[in-house]
Amino acid sequence: MPVDELDTRILRLLLEQPRTSLREYARILGVARGTLQARLDRLERDGVITGTAPALSPAALGHPVLAFVHIEVTQGHLDEVGDALAAVPEIVEAFSITGGGDLLARVVARDNAHLEDIVQKLISMPGVVRTRTEVALRERVSHRMLPLVESIGRSARG
Whether pLDDT at 13 is above 90: yes
What number is the average pLDDT over the span 137-155? Answer: 90
Whether pLDDT at 1 is above 60: no
Assign residue 69 a region (left: φ > 0; alpha: ψ between -120 and 50; beta: otherwise).
Answer: beta
Mean pLDDT of the chain: 94
Exposed/middle/buried for 4, CB within 10 Å: 0-12, 13-18, 19+? middle
Whether pLDDT at 156 is above 90: no
pLDDT in tens, 15-27: 999 999 999 999 9
Q: How confident is the model at residue 158 (pLDDT cuts 50, 70, 90)?
A: low
Whether pLDDT at 70 is above 60: yes
